Structure 1
Amino acid sequence: MESGLGYLLAPFISIALGAVVYREHLTTRKTLSTVIAFSAIAALIISAKQLNHWTYLLIASTWGAYTYIKKLTSLDAINGLLIETLFLTICLALVTIFLELPVVWPYELPTQSGHLIWLAGWASIIPLLMFSYATGKIPISITGFIQFILPLTLFALALLLRTQAISNTSFTLIISTAGLLIILITYDLIKPRQP
Structure 2
Amino acid sequence: MNQNDKTGLFLGISTFVMWGIFPIFFKFIDGVSATEILAHRIIWSALILFALLNLQGKLSNVKRLLRIKKVALTLLTTGVLIALNWGIFIYAVGKNQILETSLGYFINPLISILLGAIVLKERLNLVLKISLFIVFIAIALQVYALGNLPFISLILPLSFGLYGLIRKKVSIPTFEGLFIETLLIAPIALVYLGYLLYLGKSGFGFSLNGILLILSGLVTIVPLLTFNASTKYLRLSTIGFLQYISPTLSLLIAVFMYNESLDIYKLTSFILIWISLGIAGINGIWRKHG
Query: Do they superpose with TM above 0.5?
Result: yes
Contact 1:15 1:145 in 2 (8 A): no
Residue 137 of structure 1 corresponds to which residue in structure 2? none
Contact 1:11 1:147 in 2 (8 A): no
Residue 278 of structure 2 corresponds to which residue in structure 1? 183
Matched, 1:104 2:201: no
The C-alpha deviation readout for 1:59-86, integer Å capped at 9, x for no partner, is: 4443333222222223221110111221
Contact 1:44 1:170 in 2 (8 A): yes
Aligned length: 181
Identity %: 27
Residue 161 of structure 1 corresponds to which residue in structure 2? 257
Residue 78 of structure 2 corresponds to which residue in structure 1? none
Structure 1 letter corresponding to 2:191: L
Residue 3 of structure 1 corresponds to which residue in structure 2? 101
1:41 to 97, 116, 139: 139
Contact 2:138 2:272 in 1 (8 A): yes
Q: Aligned with 1:190: secondary structure?
A: helix
Structure 1 CA distance for aligned equivalents of residues 242 and 155 of structure 2: 20
Structure 2 CA distance for aligned equivalents of residues 73 and 113 of structure 1: 36
1:74 to 171, 183, 201: 171
Structure 2 CA distance for aligned equivalents of residues 102 and 165 of structure 1: 32
Q: CA deviation at 1:12?
A: 4.7
Contact 2:135 2:276 in 1 (8 A): yes
Q: 1:185–1:16: structure 2 CA closer, same or farther, 3 Å change rule? A: closer
Give the TM-score taking structure 2 as reference length.
Answer: 0.49
Structure 1 letter corresponding to 2:268: T
Q: CA deviation at 1:164?
A: 0.4
Contact 2:204 2:210 in 1 (8 A): no
Residue 90 of structure 1 corresponds to which residue in structure 2? 187
Q: CA deviation at 1:166?
A: 2.9
The C-alpha deviation readout for 1:81-138, integer Å capped at 9, x for no partner, is: 1112213432211111234442524xx135x9747953x544322444648x98xxxx
Structure 1 CA distance for aligned equivalents of residues 114 and 131 of structure 2: 13
Contact 1:152 1:178 in 2 (8 A): no
2:267 to 171, 179, 185: 171
Structure 1 CA distance for aligned equivalents of residues 261 and 189 of structure 2: 33
Structure 2 CA distance for aligned equivalents of residues 34 and 149 of structure 1: 21
**Structural RMSD (CA):** 3.9
Structure 1 letter corresponding to 2:117: A
The C-alpha deviation readout for 1:8-27, integer Å capped at 9, x for no partner, is: 55545422221122232333
Structure 1 letter corresponding to 2:142: L
Structure 2 CA distance for aligned equivalents of residues 70 and 154 of structure 1: 26
Unaligned runs of 5+ in 1: 135-142
